Amino acid sequence: MMLPSFRLDGKTAIVTGAGRALAIGLAEAGADVALLARTEADIRLVAREIESGTGRKAYPIAADATSRDQLEAAVDRIADAAGGIDILINNAGMNIRTPALDVTDEEWRTIVDTNLKSAFLASQLCARYMRERGGGRIVNISSVAGHVALRTGVVYGATKAALIQMTKTLALEWGKLGIRVNAVGPWYFRTPLTEKLLADEAFVAEVVSRTPLGRIGELPDLVGAVVFLASDASGYVTGQTLFVDGGMTIYGF
C-alpha cells in the first residue's frame, strides 16, 4: 500500500488551550487525547464528548500552560496514565488588540507568556518523553500574523512569528530524535477568540474580499491540517508552517 496512513491509532496526544475541535479531530483519527486548560471545567464536557462519541480515552487536566511547575506536573501525569506521549498540539493563545503606542508591560508579558512561553515549555517537557519513545510530532498553532502584518496586535504578531522560527529551530535540533515539529498558520476562523470581530458584517466582508477562496475558515479546515501534520502522512515534513488561510498570504491584508 503506497498511501501513508492519516490514522493516529495507539497514539496519545496533548492539546493545550482547551482546543475542542482539534481534540475531537485527533480522537476521531484514533488518538487518546489529554486536554489542558486553566480550569478543568472548561474541558470536562469536551472529554466526555470525546469518550462517548469516539470511544477514545480523554484526560481533562487543569494546568496553567505558562507555569513550568504546573505544566510539568500535568505532562508527567498524562505520561504516567497513558504510558507515554506521542503528539503535542500547542494551541494555547490569546490576543489583546491594543495599538502599539498604548501596549502596556502587563499586556506584553501576558501575550508573550500565553502564546510563546507556553509552547516552548510544553514542547520541551513533552519532547523528553517523545525521545524515550523514539520520536513524536509537535504542531504549533501560529497565525498568518506571524508572516504578514495585520493592523493591530503587534505583540500577537511578534509571538506568532517567533513560533514559526521556534518551529524551525526545534525541528533542526530534534530531528535526530525522531521528533517532527511543524506549525499551522490560520487566517480568520470562527472561534471564541474571533467571535466579536466576526459579528461585524463589514469586517467579515473585508476579510472575505482579501481571501481568494472567498470565505471565512471553518474549524474542520484547520483540523484536517493538524491531523495531517500529526500523522504518518506527513512523515517527511518537519520545520514547516502550513498556512491554512484560504490563500490570504498570497498578497497580505
Q: What is the pTM of this model?
A: 0.95
pLDDT averages per 10-residue partition of the chain, 253 residues = 89 94 97 94 91 96 96 97 97 93 97 98 98 97 93 92 98 98 95 86 93 94 97 98 95 59
Cell output for 162: 517567533
The pLDDT value given to residue 217: 94
The pLDDT value given to residue 151: 81
Do residues 217 and 244 make contact, with C-beta atoms less than 8 angstroms apart?
Answer: yes
Q: Where in the chain does DSSP place strands (E)?
A: 12-16, 32-37, 58-62, 87-90, 136-141, 179-186, 241-244
Cα separation of 226 and 220, whole Å? Answer: 10
The pLDDT value given to residue 229: 98
Do residues 36 and 63 make contact, with C-beta atoms less than 8 angstroms apart?
Answer: yes
**Per this entry, what is the length of the chain?**
253
61-90 as b/e: b if 16+ CB within 10 A: bbbbbbbeebbbebbeebbeebeebbbbbb
Apex 96 CA angle, 23 and 69, nearest 5: 55
> Which residues, at least 6 apart from 54, have a Cβ–Cβ distance to it below 8 Å?
24, 27, 28
The pLDDT value given to residue 150: 86
The pLDDT value given to residue 21: 95
Domains, the chain, in order of start with CATH, read 12-246 (3.40.50.720)
Could you list the active site residues? 156
